[in-house]
Structure 1
Amino acid sequence: MSVADRLVLIAGATSPSGLAASRVLVSAGARVVAVGRDAAKLDELAEALRPAAGPGSLRTEVCDLTDEADVAELVARVHAADGPVDGILHLVGGWRGGGGLAGQTDEDYRFLERSLTALRHVTRAFDADLRASDAGRLAVVSSTSVARPLAGGANYAAVKAATEAWARAVAQGFAKDARDGGKPLAAASVVFRVTALSGLEDSLAQRFADLWASDAEAVNDTIVELTDPSL
Structure 2
Amino acid sequence: MTGPGAARVLVTGGSGPSGVAVARALAAAGHRVATVGSDQARIAAAAEKAGDGVAPFTCDLADFDGVRQLREQLGGTFGPVDAVIHLVGGWRGAKGIADQSDEDWDFLERRAVTTLRNVSRVFFDDIAASPAGRFAMVSSTALDKPTAAVASYVAAKAAAEAWTMAMADGFRRASGDGGSLAAATILVVKALVDDELRRAHPERKFPGATDVADLAAAVVRLFDTPAAGLNGARLRLAD
Q: Is the 8 A contact 1:2 1:210 kept in 2?
A: no
TM-score, normalised to structure 2, is: 0.89
Question: Counterpart in 1 of 2:79?
Answer: 83
CA deviation after TM superposition for structure 1 residue 42, in Å = 1.0
CA deviation after TM superposition for structure 1 residue 184, in Å = 2.1
Q: Structure 2 unaligned runs (5+)?
A: 194-209
Match of 2:93 among 91, 94, 97: 97
Match of 1:189 among 181, 184, 188: 184
SS for the counterpart of 2:160 is: helix
Q: Structure 1 unaligned runs (5+)?
A: none
Amino acid of the structure 1 residue aligned with 2:84:
I
Answering whether residue 102 of structure 2 is matched by residue 106 of structure 1, we say yes
Question: Counterpart in 2 of 1:47?
Answer: 48
Question: Counterpart in 1 of 2:167?
Answer: 170
Answering whether residue 10 of structure 2 is matched by residue 9 of structure 1, we say yes
SS for the counterpart of 2:223 is: helix
Q: Is the 8 A contact 2:2 2:132 kept in 1?
A: no
% same residue: 42
Amino acid of the structure 2 residue aligned with 1:217:
A
Question: Counterpart in 2 of 1:207?
Answer: 218
Question: Counterpart in 1 of 2:127?
Answer: 130
Q: Is the 8 A contact 2:2 2:131 kept in 1?
A: no
Q: Is the 8 A contact 2:48 2:54 kept in 1?
A: no
1:139-166 superposed Cα distances (whole Å, 9 cap, x missing partner) = 0011111121000000000000001100
Match of 2:227 among 188, 206, 216: 216
Amino acid of the structure 2 residue aligned with 1:207:
A
Answering whether residue 31 of structure 2 is matched by residue 33 of structure 1, we say no
Q: Is the 8 A contact 1:188 1:217 kept in 2?
A: yes
Greater displacement, 211-220 / 149-158: 211-220
Q: Is the 8 A contact 1:200 1:227 kept in 2?
A: no
CA deviation after TM superposition for structure 1 residue 2, in Å = 4.8
Write the distance in 2 (CA, Å) between the matches of 1:47 and 1:211. 24
SS for the counterpart of 1:14 is: coil
Write the distance in 1 (CA, Å) between the matches of 2:136 and 2:36. 15
SS for the counterpart of 2:165 is: helix
**Residue correspondence of structure 1 range 140-179 to structure 2 within 5 A:** 140-179=137-176
Q: Is the 8 A contact 2:189 2:238 kept in 1?
A: yes
Q: Is the 8 A contact 2:2 2:226 kept in 1?
A: no
RMSD: 1.3
SS for the counterpart of 1:191 is: strand
Q: Is the 8 A contact 1:97 1:103 kept in 2?
A: no
